[in-house]
Amino acid sequence: MYSRSRIVHLAVFVLFWGLLAAPALSETRIEKNFDLAPGGRLIVDTEAGSVTVTGGSGSECRVLITSSREDLDDKIDFSFEQSAGEVRIIGKRKGKNWLGNWSFKGKLLIAIEVPERTEVDLDTSGGSLDVESLEGDVRLDTSGGGIRVTRVRGEVLADTSGGGITIREIVGDVNADTSGGGIHIEDVDGAVRADTSGGGITIRDVTGDLVADTSGGSIDVSGAGGKVEGDTSGGSIDVEFVAGNFEGGSLSTSGGGIRVTLDADASLELDASTSGGTVRSDLPITVRGVIDKHSLKGTLGGGGATLKLRASGGGIRIQER
């Protein structure tokens, strides 16, 4: 999971750090180094700026803060605290005007390298969050930008009201929540919960149960390894279950149709109905009740868990893998 991309990422990180070191790229520069053994914790709480955290080797936390403003010290007060197994970075506003207002214009980036085995807690009010190559739980919260998480072994909690969320290559459960953009998640060995009111949701290759909820776009899932629950009022739903997954679930949309892809030997109880089209199945179903083109209830194979499908903006299609 790590071997091929780690070398490439290391080269990119060295280049990135080197570019930041060029005086022409920033008016203010703050560098700090702290001892942090593997298994420790990093906490960043800042009222402005974007934050990137990358896991590496060694037992050190390297911090580089760069800004396009030469008066950074007049706008933000940074404090650094170190205790046993923990490094804490705090950025507080300063320099409010006589009306009590505060604003920060310009670029501010906090780039941090920590031991790969580090737990991370990041909170910013003014930028994006980017985390890569860590072994430890990750909690991310921003109201001013997007979130990107790549190659993490641990639980991931990502929350933003100002952008999209992209999460890839995770061993652990994922919870992603945004009101300002779409969500893209792929390659997760664990359960996933994705919630947005500002865009679509795309999920690929998840081993555990999956919950996806949006009022602003479609839901597209492939490689679902567990139970799937999906709800949208702004688009269609397309779910492909992996071979042998008959966990069922519940899918509902008022903004489009539903398409579900299953094995030919699927064993499920099916409950499907739509007011915006017809229900069709490529798989043989033992029908119960009245036969109606707008609804279908019955048993696939030997039966089992229930797959409930509801649509009011389009048709429903159950197709074979």
- 106-156 residue pLDDT tens: 689 999 999 999 999 999 987 999 999 999 999 999 987 999 999 999 999
What pLDDT, on the 0 to 100 scale, is given for residue 6? 54
* Mean pLDDT (whole number) for 182-193: 98
CA angle centred on 291, ends 290 and 294, rounded to 5°: 110
Alpha-helical (H) ranges within the chain are 3-21, 72-75
What pLDDT, on the 0 to 100 scale, is given for residue 137? 98
Query: Cα–Cα distance between 160 and 59 in angstroms, integer?
Result: 30
Greater confidence, 1 or 204? 204
CA angle centred on 318, ends 316 and 321, rounded to 5°: 145
The pair of three-digit structure tokens given for residue 236, joined into one six-digit string:
């269609």
According to DSSP, residue 291 is labeled -
What pLDDT, on the 0 to 100 scale, is given for residue 23? 45
The pLDDT of residue 86 is above 70: yes
Entry pTM: 0.88
Query: Cα–Cα distance between 241 and 305 in angstroms, integer?
Result: 14
Residues 6+ apart with CB under 8 A from 259: 236, 237, 238, 239, 316, 317, 319
Neighbouring C-beta atoms of residue 306, cutoff 10 Å = 12
Residues 6+ apart with CB under 8 A from 290: none
Query: What is the percent of the chain with per-residue pLDDT over 90, rounded to a whole number?
Result: 70
- Report the relative pairing of strands 28-35 and 210-214 from DSSP bridges: unpaired
Are 179 and 197 spatial neighbours (Cβ–Cβ below 8 Å)?
yes
Are 36 and 96 spatial neighbours (Cβ–Cβ below 8 Å)?
no
Helix (H, G, I), strand (E, B) or coil at 22: coil
Closest CA to 129 of 28, 16, 18, 49: 49
* Mean pLDDT (whole number) for 159-174: 95
Q: Which stretch of 93-102, 159-168, 209-218, 310-319 has the lowest confidence by average pLDDT?
A: 93-102
Average pLDDT, whole number, for the chain?
Answer: 89
